[in-house]
Structure 1
Amino acid sequence: MFGLLRPCAHGAQKYGIDADAWRAHLCGLCLGLRDGHGQLARATTNKDALVLNMLTEAQSGSAARTTAAPCPLRGMRRASVATADSPGVQLATTASLLLAAAKIRDHVDDGEVGPFARRPLAKAATQWAAQARASAERIGFEVEPLVAALEAQVRLERDAKELVAVSSSTMPVARPSGFVPDSLAASPYWRSAMAPSADPLDRLTAPTQLCAAEFFAHTAVLADRPDNIEALREAGWQFGRIAHLADAVADYEDDSARGRFNPLAATGTTMPEAYDLLRQSNSSLRAAVAAAELSRVPTVRWMLLDPLTSVLRGLGTGVGALVAHTCAVSRETDRLPHADVRAHVRGTGHRPPTRRPGLGESLALILGAYCTGYACCADHTQPCTGERKDAWIKNCECDDCCDCGNCDCGCCDCGDCGCCDCDCGCDC
């Protein structure tokens, strides 16, 4: 979870929710970290972890609140917040501590911190990992498979780097063998992602996906809704891929400039391909949430579904502009069927533009129209109907769609179509 979710106050009004509800979850998590693990642990507060308490409450139908003392971050005002000892908050504290420990350890191992900060940060990461285990034990959450998955991330990235180095030489390319630690052997998701025939990008995103999947699934356990476990595990698996890929897309240029590892660059995944994967995961997540009968719960839509739609809109605008900027004539790919362009590009490391867009297409892309084909403007599927259309044509036929388009606040009901025009006046 990388801090993707940002609910909009206008959306809260639309759903009849108090806009301070998000702060109630945030302050409850912060106080839960303080009460259970000390003041330093509050630095691990993860905004995306708030969705775990929200999902727990949405399934259980109850929301425990208490009045918190004045806080400088609230302008020294009291507030009604989620109780620190509630099961959902405890699960959120576990997620915050575990993911913060993994992130700090990753920065230390990569040498991205100064020599004087290395030791205290490593000590803090070790402490937070131990506190995550203690917090997980209190709510009956098995955290060791997640620790193993996060530790496997280093090996998976190393394998990807070696694969890139070998593929750029004259030596034959050998795919990594399946990597399944004992604690992860029971997970069909992990076994599938680690299979020798699995897509290289799926291997790299698997640790994040597994963590999110198990955290989401445990909300059903805490809410005593065993019938929702598998649906929410699938929702979490898709959320993990969205989080990982969105982070990779956002950091692509910076990682390239600094010579840092990026899963998209390492696997030869282009921006349009990454955006297509994001849309697929968003659709699968929505289907899983609907299967758990949570898609019409106002807080779920406001805190999870709508913000994800906003994330995809923002990334889609950037992807469209980037592809328009990098388009060039490629006679070799012009001769390939569209279905073969992706395979050709992965084999050569080249971007997949099949033709130079016209003036109208370029302007539309630069102004924010989505480019969702593998090749720039070559092939687009209208998301609401499945009909193939040019990228710059806005033609939404959703039954449950508003007039929202270039607004990035998540204030519409379009689901994941992202193809309408907005005049809702959002200033966020």
Structure 2
Amino acid sequence: MFGLLRPCAHGAQKYGIDTTEWRAHLCGLCLGLRDGHGQLARATTNKDALVLSMLTEAQSGAAPRTTAAPCPLRGMRRASVATADSPGVQLATTASLLLAAAKIRDHVDDGEVAALARGPLAKAATRWAREARAGAARIGLDVEPLVAALDAQVQLEQEVKELVAVGGSSAAAPRAGGFVPELLAVSSHWQSAMAPSADPLDRLTAPTQLCASAFFAHTAVLADRPANVEALREAGWQFGRIAHLADAVADYDGDLSGGSFNPLASTGTTISEAYDLLRQSNSRLRAAIAAAELSRVPTVRWMLLDPLTSVLRRIGNGLGTFAAHTCSVSRDSAGLPHAEVRPHMHRTGHRPPTRRPGLGGSLALILGGYCTGYACCADHTQPCTGERKDAWIKNCDCSNCDCGEFDCSCCNCGDCGCCNCDCSCDC
């Protein structure tokens, strides 16, 4: 099970959401993979794909549930889960299979797996890609452009490696766009990323972004909300860049020491520059979600917007020296937020981001305890009992966070991540 987004249980309480809602989508996806593609397919469970199920429900208003049988990962308890045949779960299943197949092929091509495992893994990847196509056809999603874009990732990386080897310029690089079907030309984002003047890093992240944008946009199609398609396509494009760059930051030191390809190191992008790009994408994603009139939906805030803020905060806290900047909050004549400029401190430089321990949370999940893999578990006592550490309580007063949608002045949240007032700045 892999993915970027891990919603916090305290955030669910803040929004009045049952904390089992995340598990309902997770277990629904897992069971959908099992029922449709066999037990082994459950290994492709992608926590980020849960957002697709959630967005579909948030737009359609429908939340079909069924009672799942006891499972060891739920402490042998039954649970109400999203139905495997619901459109959102089918879309999430397709995304999990397709992205897992691409990830496995990438590892096999890079020689990062043992020789004896390459054949079985390649076979599994081929099967999952085939089943992703079949699943996509059932919900009316054309994944051929996405498959082609993911296949082009290898060529894109090879271009950058050749440029680094010869010390050439990005403008002189061959275009991987020639390896992609003409259908991809309908994406203005893809055209921009493949333009001769495009930044090499933009080309490297484009396949991930294209996939995310297509999946996000299709949630509006499944929910019969055509007016939301373009806004969610933009949100998905920005989410894809966040996911790709956050993974590159997390793997930066390991890739350098192990000799593996890293998009940041290969394009000469510093960690602080990557952090700026992440903040930019997060701001644009929020604007797109607001344009789709989903920014005030509690589950969207809890499962998508707040976890992304936590991702950026963790990366920011992993940067070394400080650099100040300002951001503004606007207020109107009635006293609502207006042009108020306040300084904020953000870290620049580089220090490896701290990885959150997963063992305690996993054991608690298996034993049926309070923790089910939420992002805040690293800030809880270990093993996780749901109680926060004293340091977190000292730095964060969550009782002050019941403020206006765009008013940060009433919050005293520090850097803990459990409060998120969504002010107009993107700090």
TM range (shorter): 0.7 to 0.9
| Matched AA of 1:175 | A
Contact 2:239 2:282 in 1 (8 A): yes
Question: Which runs of no fewer than 5 residues in structure 1 stay unpaired?
Answer: 325-364, 366-376, 420-428
Question: How far apart are the structure 1 equivalents of 2:169 and 2:79?
Answer: 62
Question: How far apart are the structure 2 equivalents of 1:80 and 1:64?
Answer: 10
Deviations 1:175-210 (A, max 9, x none): 224332224222211111001111111000000000
Query: Between the two proteins, what is the percent identity of the paired residues?
Result: 76
| Matched AA of 2:164 | V
SS in structure 2 opposite 1:66?
strand
How many residues align? The count is 357
SS in structure 2 opposite 1:293?
coil
The structure 2 residue matched to 1:407, chosen from 384, 392, 416, is 416
Q: Which residue of 2 aligns with 1:290?
A: 290
Q: Which residue of 1 aligns with 2:176?
A: 179
Residue 67 in structure 1 maps to residue 63 in structure 2? no
TM alignment of 1:20-419, pairs within 5 A: 20-167=20-167, 175-180=172-177, 181-182=180-181, 183-319=183-319, 321=320, 324=321, 365=322, 377=323, 380-382=325-327, 384=329, 389=343, 391=345, 399-401=406-408, 402-408=411-417, 410-415=418-423, 417=425
Contact 1:32 1:84 in 2 (8 A): yes
Contact 1:216 1:233 in 2 (8 A): yes
Question: Which runs of no fewer than 5 residues in structure 2 stay unpaired?
Answer: 330-338, 348-403
| Matched AA of 2:407 | D
Question: How far apart are the structure 1 equivalents of 2:49 and 2:112?
Answer: 25
Contact 2:176 2:194 in 1 (8 A): yes
Question: How far apart are the structure 2 equivalents of 1:173 and 1:231?
Answer: 31
Higher strand proportion, which one?
Answer: 2
Measured after TM superposition, the shift of residue 386 of structure 1 is 8.9
Question: How far apart are the structure 1 equivalents of 2:217 and 2:40?
Answer: 28
Contact 1:309 1:415 in 2 (8 A): no
Contact 1:232 1:288 in 2 (8 A): yes
After superposition, the CA RMSD in angstroms is 2.2
Question: How far apart are the structure 2 equivalents of 1:129 and 1:136?
Answer: 10
Contact 2:171 2:197 in 1 (8 A): no
| Matched AA of 1:267 | T
| Matched AA of 1:414 | D
Change (3 A) 1:388 1:271: farther
Contact 1:64 1:86 in 2 (8 A): yes
SS in structure 2 opposite 1:185?
helix
Give the TM-score normalised by structure 2: 0.80
SS in structure 2 opposite 1:112?
coil
Residue 6 in structure 1 maps to residue 6 in structure 2? yes
After the TM superposition, list the runs of 4 or more consecutive aligned residues in structure 1 that deviate by more than 2 angstroms: 171-175, 177-180, 379-393, 397-402, 414-419
Deviations 1:109-168 (A, max 9, x none): 11111111110001000010011001101100000000001001000000011111111x
Change (3 A) 1:149 1:233: same
Question: How far apart are the structure 1 equivalents of 2:299 and 2:82?
Answer: 14
Question: How far apart are the structure 1 equivalents of 2:221 and 2:15?
Answer: 27
Change (3 A) 1:292 1:418: closer
Give the TM-score normalised by structure 1: 0.79
| Matched AA of 2:152 | A
Contact 2:242 2:278 in 1 (8 A): yes
Contact 1:381 1:387 in 2 (8 A): yes
Question: How far apart are the structure 2 equivalents of 1:398 and 1:383?
Answer: 15
